[in-house]
Amino acid sequence: MAETAIFYDASKCTACKGCQVACKQWNQLSSPLTADEFEFTKSYQSPLELADKTWIIITFAEVDQDIGIEWNFMRNACFHCTDAACEQACPTGAISHVENGAVVIDQEKCIGCRYCVNSCPFGVPKWREAENKTFKCWLCQDRQANGRSPGCVGTCPTGALTFGERPAMVAAAQTRLDEVKAAGSDKAELYGVDELDGMHVIFLAHRGLEAHGLIRDPQVPGSIKFWQLMKPLSGLAFAATFGGLGISFLASMGYDRDSNNVEEVEE
């Protein structure tokens, strides 16, 4: 299977939230059912952040203008990084890349340690207390396996979301970048082409990265990199300890405690 990617064009997004609904419907992710479970946020953005049962949201960055408000929308979900901090932090191998480049969580292996939650520079993985597991977008691997695009892409009415092989999506993003710049959006930038060794969601931020809430030059936390370097040493230390215990056990075979007991000398 070839590497695939989503291309999100913020200049075409109307924040209809159809992608949010489609994600919940396809992945059977429940939402609160009564009004008192919703917090009034004074914002059109709802919900305000990702959760264990909310894997994608459209963010609303509002900028006051002389007349009205400027909206800078952005798709917030897993970026599916090639250099993925969550994968490197996972101690059980529950998080891995699949053949098409997506980063997925094997719930059978997840122990709920939340190392991935704390290591992701974007705050994507979320812990579910009831099951002691971590969840996030998986790029609808079941749909991709059957030749279909992820659920969020299929429902987008404006063409803000497209899906295909990653090289084609990068090329499409570059072409669109040239178009919006020619149309006057001189701050427009692409995101995800090179960041963290390449992402499997490519973004066009037509008003610049910061305006759309994107982190410029994201990095895997240094503590994770250090842990990766220490893993081989930890394995050698374990082997040395286990080997030393084995040698001690073999050396002690045949030892007779009673015959080697030193009796106290009475004064």
pLDDT at site 172: 98
Task: Give tens-digit pLDDT for 4-60.
Answer: 999 999 999 999 999 999 999 999 999 876 666 667 777 888 888 999 999 999 999
- Give the number of other CB atoms < 10 A from CB of residue 239: 10
Contact (CB, 8 A) for 133 and 19: no
Are 56 and 17 in contact by the 8 Å Cβ rule? The answer is no
Tokens of 189: 């930038």
pLDDT at 66: 87
Has residue 72 got a pLDDT over 90? yes
**pLDDT score, position 234:** 43
Instruction: Round the average pLDDT of the chain to a whole number and report it.
Output: 88
d(CA 201, CA 203) in angstroms, rounded, equals 7
**157 touches 163 (CB < 8 A):** no
Angle ∠(92,93,96) on CA atoms, nearest 5 = 155
CA 186 vs CA 33, 106, 176, 179, 213: distances in Å:
44, 42, 13, 10, 18
Fold of domain 4-212 = Alpha-Beta Plaits (3.30.70)
In this predicted structure, the answer to whether residue 265 has a pLDDT above a threshold of 80 is: no
What are the extents of the domains in the chain?
4-212, 222-251
φ, ψ of residue 104 in degrees (nearest 5): -125, 160
Q: What is the pLDDT of residues 124-170, one digit of tens each?
A: 999 999 999 999 999 999 999 999 999 999 999 999 999 999 999 99
Share above pLDDT 90 across residues of the chain, in percent, rounded to a whole number:
71
For 186-209, the pLDDT digits (tens) are 999 999 999 999 999 999 999 999
What pLDDT is attached to residue 267?
Answer: 47
Give the pLDDT score at 69: 84
Over residues 236-253, the mean pLDDT reads 54
Cβ neighbors of 78 (< 8 A, separation 6 or more) are 55, 103, 122, 124, 125, 136, 137, 138, 139, 201
Segment 61-66 mean pLDDT: 86
